[in-house]
Amino acid sequence: MTMPVILAYQRGNEIEKAFWRGAIEDGSNGEAALEKARKLIIKHNALSDSISRALSYGEAARAAIASLPVSAGKHALEEVIDYCIARIS
């Protein structure tokens, strides 16, 4: 499950939550379900909020490793952060 889906589910009403449960638990995911999911994600501002959270977490992760000495391990961690942030662009 992705953050936009989680947020759309949390912010949804009971009918919308039932839709998400059906899509996730029962695999009800045809073209119509995909379009409904897209609309719910937009309705609940879930995508932009997910992007904001990802950027914030990326900044927090970078700050957390800032004091580490320069090393291959630190560089690898920085690359992971960059990769994760690049995925949202």
How many distinct structural domains can be found in the chain?
A: 2
Same domain as 80, residue 54: yes
- pLDDT(89) > 80: no
Structural domain harbouring 53: 49-86
Backbone angles phi, psi at 41, to 5 degrees: -65, -40
What pTM value is reported for the model?
A: 0.77
DSSP string, 19-80: HHHHHHHS---SHHHHHHHHHHHHHTTHHHHHHHHHHHHHHHHHHHHTTSPS-HHHHHHHHH
Number of CB atoms found within 10 A of residue 55's CB = 12
> pLDDT band at 1, cuts 50/70/90?
low
Same domain as 37, residue 9: yes
Same domain as 74, residue 59: yes
Same domain as 40, residue 13: yes
Same domain as 9, residue 30: yes
